[in-house]
């Protein structure tokens, strides 16, 4: 599953004179890099910590590759050059796993073992679905006791193993 988003044309650099009707010749890379986090992870743009794009000529051919660090994982981001409406498409061939979805699954798995579950929270808010990524989860049972677990992703499907963290 890939992520695809359109960015508005405000990313074009004003490389022509003020008030000039001519179209700029390059994309404002700083504005593009600043817009990509909200495009890739709209609910949690803070999960994208670094974005690096090369200079982008408006009239070039084909998409351009940028790199982003999403939840600690390097992700290749493909950016199309501006179309005739000055819109650019941003896409990344990654799947994301949200902590709320992991928490729901953890609660379901542990309900029988703990005699019910009152609350489950996991963090960070999002991870890239690659093997080895971890969520720290806290499960509160019906007696208000908290249990800590680590959910470790197995790969792109979002499946995970669950391990109790020993007290101490």
How far does the chain reach from its first CA to its final CA, in angstroms? 39
For the entire predicted model, the pTM comes to 0.78
Q: For residue 147, is pLDDT > 60?
A: yes
How is the chain split into domains, by residue range? 3-94, 97-164
Looking up tokens 């070039």 gives 60
Whether 10 has a pLDDT exceeding 60, the answer reads: no
Distance between CA 12 and CA 14 in Å, rounded? Answer: 6
CA distance 82 to 64: 11
**Choice between 15 and 151, residue whose per-residue pLDDT is larger:** 151
Q: Give yes or no for residue 93 having a pLDDT over 90.
A: no
Q: Does position 24 have pLDDT exceeding 80, yes or no?
A: no
């Amino acid at each position: 599953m890939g992520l695809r988003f359109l960015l508005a044309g405000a990313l074009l650099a004003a490389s022509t004179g003020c008030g000039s009707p001519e179209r700029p010749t390059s994309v404002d890379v700083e504005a593009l890099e600043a817009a990509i986090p909200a495009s890739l992870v709209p609910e949690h743009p803070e999960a994208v910590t670094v974005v690096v794009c090369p200079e982008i000529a408006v009239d070039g051919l084909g998409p351009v590759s940028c790199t982003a660090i999403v939840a600690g994982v390097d992700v290749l981001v493909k950016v199309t050059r501006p179309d005739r409406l000055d819109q650019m498409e941003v896409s990344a061939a990654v799947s994301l796993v949200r902590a709320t979805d992991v928490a729901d699954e953890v609660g379901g798995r542990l309900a029988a073992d703990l005699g019910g579950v009152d609350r489950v929270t996991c963090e960070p808010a999002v991870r890239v679905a690659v093997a080895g990524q971890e969520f720290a989860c806290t499960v509160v049972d019906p007696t208000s006791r908290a249990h800590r677990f680590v959910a470790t992703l197995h790969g792109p499907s979002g499946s995970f193993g669950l391990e109790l963290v020993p007290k101490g």
